[in-house]
């Protein structure tokens, strides 16, 4: 039997959202939702009232974690929502968080779900072919500096997890896949890992040079480039199948 445990900002005054959350826990992803990613986890898009929602279904944990995630640790869905709220409170972008839910069998976690509003924009894949590149790379480098000065460590800082769009003539960045995000991190060794999976080596090197004056680590442009190249080289060594 599946039990609901969760939080939704709108539950107290939005019966429609409350019913949607309960239906997802009882039945899984809605049949009318469009599956936009299916792999380790599943992601679906759902037209709901006047909004477009994104629902992420986190796969069932292993036997030990099924118990740990209900007693000792927060579930990935709950961390996603709470990290999104904290990130937005710091002045950074993330799709508006709507709800997290857990489907449990007794004290064991079965599946968990995170719902947020969809943000229309473009991700950072194929930067080498992106017509926005001349303006985008400086904006991205400055944004990385802001994140690092604020002590925000997005541990999944990869092209598909950074969405951008122009708002009032300027680039605005939105971050997704936040369940592993950490705050109050000021260790250069951790924060500079953000260069590893961000883009190809040449784009990463350019971003590193542009990042230097915004960095909390007093880097010169040459040092910023060297750091970015070093982190990218480490990533490629660990993932030899990745084409640079």
pLDDT mean across residues, the chain: 89
Tens of pLDDT, residue by residue over 127-169, are 999 999 999 999 999 999 999 999 999 999 999 999 999 999 9
- Percent of the chain beyond pLDDT 90? 70
* Statement: the pTM of the whole predicted model exceeds 0.95: no
Quote the pLDDT of residue 165: 96
**Range of 173's domain?**
122-238
What's the Rg (C-alpha) of the chain? 19
Please name the residues in contact with 84: beta carbons below 8 A apart, sequence gap of 6 or more: 94, 95, 97, 116, 178
Please state the domain count of the chain: 2
Tokens of 102: 């857990």
- CATH code of the domain covering residue 53: 3.30.200.20
- CATH code of the domain covering residue 155: 1.10.510
Residue 151 lies inside a defined structural domain of this protein? yes
Residue 57 pLDDT level (bands cut at 50, 70, 90): very high
**C-beta pairs of 88-92 under 8 Å, 24+ apart in sequence:** 90/150, 90/152, 92/146, 92/147, 92/150, 92/152, 92/173, 92/175
Residue 194 lies inside a defined structural domain of this protein? yes
Q: Tell me which of 51, 82, 117 is where a domain ends.
A: 117
């Amino acid at each position: 039997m599946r039990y609901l445990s969760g939080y939704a900002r709108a539950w107290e005054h939005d019966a429609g959202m409350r019913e949607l959350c309960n239906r997802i826990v009882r039945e899984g992803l809605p049949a009318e939702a469009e599956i936009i990613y299916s792999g380790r986890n599943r992601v679906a898009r759902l037209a709901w009232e006047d909004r477009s929602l994104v629902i992420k279904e986190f796969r069932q944990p292993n036997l030990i974690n099924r118990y740990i995630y209900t007693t000792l640790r927060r579930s990935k869905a709950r961390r996603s929502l709470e990290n999104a709220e904290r990130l937005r409170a710091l002045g950074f972008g993330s799709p508006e968080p709507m709800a997290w839910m857990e489907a449990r069998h007794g004290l064991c976690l079965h599946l968990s779900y995170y719902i947020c509003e969809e943000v229309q924009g473009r991700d950072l894949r194929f930067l080498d072919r992106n017509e926005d590149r001349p303006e985008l790379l400086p904006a991205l480098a400055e944004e990385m500096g802001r994140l690092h000065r604020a002590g925000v460590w997005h541990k999944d800082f990869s092209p598909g997890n950074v969405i951008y769009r122009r708002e009032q003539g300027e680039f605005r960045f939105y971050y997704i896949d936040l369940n592993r995000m950490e705050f109050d991190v000021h260790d250069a060794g951790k924060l500079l890992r953000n260069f590893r999976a961000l883009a190809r080596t040449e784009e990463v090197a350019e971003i590193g040079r542009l990042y230097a004056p915004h960095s909390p680590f007093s880097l010169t442009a040459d040092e910023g480039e060297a750091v970015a190249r070093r982190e990218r080289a480490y990533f490629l060594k660990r993932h030899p199948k990745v084409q640079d």
